[in-house]
């Protein structure tokens, strides 16, 4: 391992230059992967736009029942037509999501903490690769805690899942956790996203920050951005617009969709930004028009 002393600060990100090993495949960093991986990635990232709207409703894995997700069986079928990928636990998927839905599946495979713990950074791999195969998961989501107490075990979890994923051509989605102890700076997100990509993740989920274009440029796989805590709809759409403008390959939004007063229209508005080139102002104007008589 290199000596930590005297390390120069990275600065030449060449943000204007496109990724140089794209080949003819639409997913960043995936040009050299095999057919099975590419097939799964094509169910996540729309080949026409190269982007994705992932809908995260895996919150129950540590929060239990959450506002907006009290009845997964009622909520998910309404939202599914407006998003590309459903990100959830196997319990939620098997009990409440019809197998007939065509969406891609991001299967959460780690767990181990709950809202009752102060330190959420200790997890285990809770889903075996055989179950991800049985469920035809398009990627496996692993929470990682860079810089936290549970860093080593989460890197161990991530490595196990990536190794199993390579055996059966299922991509791994590394999720950058943030918490009390972890900064939300570009310095932290450059470190965390790059570590996850170099570990072998095919997709990384992270957060928006200042100098986001540099975070994107330094990460050789697609970034999808979490929505985070519930914001007013206008602000959430601005966040979606900024991340797409900054070079993210999509969003993986949860609360800003399912806790919206109008979740279906909110998902559609996000979709307009991610896939149709709408600005945040255009998407919000559409949202307001669609919901005007129900506000």
Residue nearest to ligand R5P (CB): 254
Catalytic pick among 38, 190, 205, 272: 205
Please check whether residue 253 is in contact with residue 86, taking contact to mean a CB–CB distance below 8 angstroms.
no
Query: Which C-beta is closer to ligand R5P: that of 32 or that of 65?
Result: 65
Considering only CA atoms, which of 157, 69, 92, 161 is closest in space to residue 121? 157
Query: Which C-beta is closer to ligand R5P: that of 145 or that of 284?
Result: 145
Q: Is 205 a catalytic residue?
A: yes
Residue by residue, DSSP assigns 156-205 as: HHHHHHHHHHHHHT--EEEEE---TTS--SHHHHHHHHHHHHHHT-SEEE
Please check whether residue 69 is in contact with residue 57, taking contact to mean a CB–CB distance below 8 angstroms.
yes
Interactions with ligand R5P, residue window 238-267 (CB under 6 A): 253-256
Stretch that binds ligand R5P, among 126-134, 183-191, 222-230, 270-278 (CB under 6 A): 222-230
Stretch that binds ligand R5P, among 53-61, 96-104, 129-137, 145-153 (CB under 6 A): 53-61
Examine residue 59 and tell whether it contacts ligand R5P (CB under 6 A): yes
Examine residue 225 and tell whether it contacts ligand R5P (CB under 6 A): no
Residues in the chain: 295
Q: Residue 282: which H helix or E strand, with range?
A: helix 280-291
- Residues 6 or more apart whose CB falls under 8 angstroms from that of 201 comprise 142, 158, 162, 171, 172, 173, 174, 221
Smallest distance, ligand R5P to C-beta of residue 63, A:
8
Query: Which C-beta is closer to ligand R5P: that of 175 or that of 195?
Result: 175
Smallest distance, ligand R5P to C-beta of residue 295, A:
23
d(CA 40, CA 156) in angstroms, rounded, equals 24
**Cα dihedral 178→209→252→145 (10° resolution):** -20
d(CA 166, CA 2) in angstroms, rounded, equals 28
- Residues 6 or more apart whose CB falls under 8 angstroms from that of 204 comprise 173, 174, 175, 176, 193, 196, 197, 219, 221, 222, 223, 224
Examine residue 176 and tell whether it contacts ligand R5P (CB under 6 A): no
Smallest distance, ligand R5P to C-beta of residue 197, A:
18
Smallest distance, ligand R5P to C-beta of residue 121, A:
12
Query: Which C-beta is closer to ligand R5P: that of 25 or that of 256?
Result: 256
Q: Which of 33, 107, 158, 175 binds ligand R5P (CB under 6 A)?
A: 175
Query: Which C-beta is closer to ligand R5P: that of 58 or that of 233?
Result: 58
Size of the site for ligand R5P (CB under 6 A): 12
Neighbours of 90 (CB within 10 A): 19
* Contacts with ligand R5P, 133-172, as mask; x by CB under 6 A: ----------x-----------------------------
Q: Which of 92, 226, 240, 273 binds ligand R5P (CB under 6 A)?
A: 226
Examine residue 83 and tell whether it contacts ligand R5P (CB under 6 A): no
Query: Which C-beta is closer to ligand R5P: that of 193 or that of 256?
Result: 256
Radius of gyration from C-alpha coordinates of the chain = 18
**Given the rule CB under 6 A, which residues bind ligand R5P?**
56, 58-59, 143, 175, 226-228, 253-256
**Which residue numbers are catalytic?**
205
């Amino acid at each position: 391992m290199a000596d930590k002393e005297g390390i120069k600060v990275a600065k030449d990100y060449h943000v204007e230059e496109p990724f140089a090993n794209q080949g003819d495949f639409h997913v960043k960093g995936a040009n050299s992967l095999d057919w099975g991986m590419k097939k799964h990635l094509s169910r996540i990232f729309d080949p026409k736009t190269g982007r994705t709207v992932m809908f995260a409703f895996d919150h129950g894995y540590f929060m239990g029942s959450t506002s907006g997700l009290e009845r997964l069986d009622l909520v998910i079928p309404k939202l599914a037509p407006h998003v590309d990928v459903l990100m959830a636990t196997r319990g939620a998927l098997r009990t409440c999501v019809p197998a007939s839905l065509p969406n891609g599946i991001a299967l959460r495979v780690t767990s181990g903490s709950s809202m009752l713990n102060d330190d959420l950074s200790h997890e285990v791999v809770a889903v075996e690769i055989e179950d991800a195969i049985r469920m035809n998961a398009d990627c496996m989501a692993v929470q990682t805690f860079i810089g936290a107490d549970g860093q080593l075990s989460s890197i161990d979890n991530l490595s196990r899942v990536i190794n199993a994923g390579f055996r059966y051509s299922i991509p791994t989605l590394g999720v950058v956790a943030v918490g009390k102890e972890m900064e939300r700076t570009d310095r932290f997100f450059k470190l965390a996203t790059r570590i996850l990509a170099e570990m072998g993740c095919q997709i990384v989920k992270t957060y928006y920050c200042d100098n986001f274009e540099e975070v994107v440029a330094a990460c050789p796989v697609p970034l999808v951005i979490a929505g985070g805590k519930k914001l007013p709809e206008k602000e959430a759409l601005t966040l979606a617009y900024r991340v797409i403008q900054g070079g993210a390959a999509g969003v993986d939004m949860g609360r800003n969709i399912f806790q919206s007063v109008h979740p279906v229209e909110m998902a559609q508005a996000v979709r307009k930004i991610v896939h149709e080139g709408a600005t945040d102002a255009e998407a919000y104007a559409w949202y307001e028009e669609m919901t005007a008589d129900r506000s």
